[in-house]
Structure 1
């Protein structure tokens, strides 16, 4: 397990992380979410001993990670795909990591094949695309066959096939009983992949719970309607005790279900272009529950435009 207890990191008077407490358990994919500047990368770097906390503790399997001399056998990580020597080949880079962690050389070719880089392993990393560097970073994380894996934005630069491959890889690693901790801004992928979520904002914990629980508590189920006669339909639905939010021809309705709205429109000969029930979504819950924690907000959102 990864156990974080009252973890704090300050840079002068600025608190990047404040009193964080959470646990990441094996056998599941745990997503790590938060707006830009929330403290996710700082937290991951403290897990790996790259930053010293100002206060609190973080352990991996009961010990600080920095205390383990052969770290790649215990924790594999991808924090920055560009943080690698561009003049080396992928095979040379992995071979150096293997030697320093007493990992058999045969493992290098195994992970190169697994991430799809076997045919270009002789090429210098400086000539790799971002997607190829991401694959190399994942290979480095897998090299020691560790029980704990940390990934920071592992899907950056990957094509659709690569995204699908990473999604399936994360699922497989968790199914093997490993601890998988993934930071990402891609809500759609977290919705497909994560079992649990850790959500932070401005360095503080917002939620630590299952994906389904988080998605459900941040938003209400509603019906989306599109009609060129929005004004008439709003009056009729309001009279039927529904709550309607209008965005021009698009309406969001709560208090009546889709068949009831369709019946009202039919009875009054109102044309509908679209009618669908919208269930709870991770993206909507995230936007609502982190709205007060976002440090960088575009002008339209700050003005209250529809999200």
Structure 2
């Protein structure tokens, strides 16, 4: 379990993380979500002792990370896939980590097979694509078979099959009773991977709850109705307090009333319905609404070729133009590592 209590990090006059408190429990994939610049990476670095907090603290299974001997046996983390020695081979990199943490050498071959890199184990990391480096980072996190795992933007650079493999891996690790925290700014990844969310903006907590509960915060929940008496039904629903939008022809989109209540009202007035379909609020809409005003970097209204090159705008993370080209094994390689 990861417990963060009043965590604060200041760099001079800039507060990157402010009084952040949340808990990540075992048995779930917890998504750590926020806009670029929200303080996610800084928080993860403080959890594993790479950055010293200005105030507050974080514990892993009741103790600060620094007090866990042979850290990889307790916590595995992928924080920056590029932070490796490019002159080493993949196997040599993992062997060095294993030796430093008192781990058996057999774990190196096991985790390389687990992530689909066993065919390139003797290639130098400097020649790896971004996706291959991500796989190597995941292998390093799995090396000590730890009960707690942290991943910062782990699918960045993976091809679609690799993304699907990574999602399955995170779910399996959580199903084994491990604590799994996955940081991302991608809504699609959270929808397909996480059970619970910790959402921050400008270093402050916005929400800590289940994925479904967070999505329900958005104003996007609606009901699609089709009826030959659209105008009459629209008037009835408006009187009942619903917000009704005509979508052309016989279609209405209704918010503020449940599908069951709409069906009741139509039945009472003998209005025939050809469709009555609830549509859940999207995670993306809830995220955009709740983080409005808490994103440090926003694109302007310009759409010309120079819009993305204005000074003062962060470009964020790589978006996957470098893809996953691990050779010798497909992304869904048979499991052979973490258990």
TM-score w.r.t. length of structure 2 = 0.77
Separation in 2, partners of 1:143, 1:207: 32
Residues 1:38 and 1:99: Cα distance change in structure 2 (over 3 Å) = same
Aligned twin of 1:150:
150
Separation in 1, partners of 2:91, 2:159: 23
Tell me the SS of whatever aligns to 1:44. Answer: helix
Query: How far did 1:239 drift?
Result: 6.5
Separation in 1, partners of 2:153, 2:276: 35
Aligned twin of 1:305:
none
Separation in 2, partners of 1:246, 1:293: 33
Structure 2: gaps spanning 5 or more residues? 267-273, 303-339
Residues 1:156 and 1:225: Cα distance change in structure 2 (over 3 Å) = farther
Separation in 1, partners of 2:5, 2:258: 45
Separation in 2, partners of 1:275, 1:186: 31
Aligned twin of 1:191:
191
String of CA shifts for 1:173-219, please: whole Å, max 9, x gaps.
01111100000122122112211111111111111111111111233
Aligned twin of 1:292:
293
Farther-moved stretch of structure 1 (209-218 vs 98-107): 209-218
Residues 1:4 and 1:192: Cα distance change in structure 2 (over 3 Å) = same
String of CA shifts for 1:82-140, please: whole Å, max 9, x gaps.
11111111001000101111110000000000100000111111111111111000000
Query: How far did 1:160 drift?
Result: 1.3
Residue 138 in structure 1 maps to residue 135 in structure 2: no
TM-score w.r.t. length of structure 1 = 0.85
Separation in 2, partners of 1:247, 1:53: 52
Higher relative contact order structure (alpha carbons within 8 Å, sequence separation ≥ 6)? 2
CA contact (8 A) 2:220 2:282 kept: no
Separation in 1, partners of 2:245, 2:41: 37
Aligned twin of 1:15:
15
Residues 1:247 and 1:32: Cα distance change in structure 2 (over 3 Å) = farther
Query: How far did 1:161 drift?
Result: 1.1
CA contact (8 A) 2:167 2:193 kept: yes
Aligned twin of 1:30:
30
Alpha-carbon RMSD = 3.0
Query: How far did 1:237 drift?
Result: 2.8
CA contact (8 A) 2:28 2:179 kept: yes
CA contact (8 A) 1:109 1:118 kept: yes
Separation in 1, partners of 2:202, 2:283: 19
**Which structure carries more helix by proportion?**
1
Separation in 2, partners of 1:13, 1:222: 44
String of CA shifts for 1:41-81, please: whole Å, max 9, x gaps.
00000001000000001111111112223111110000111
Paired residues in the alignment total: 291
Structure 1: gaps spanning 5 or more residues? 227-232, 264-271, 302-307
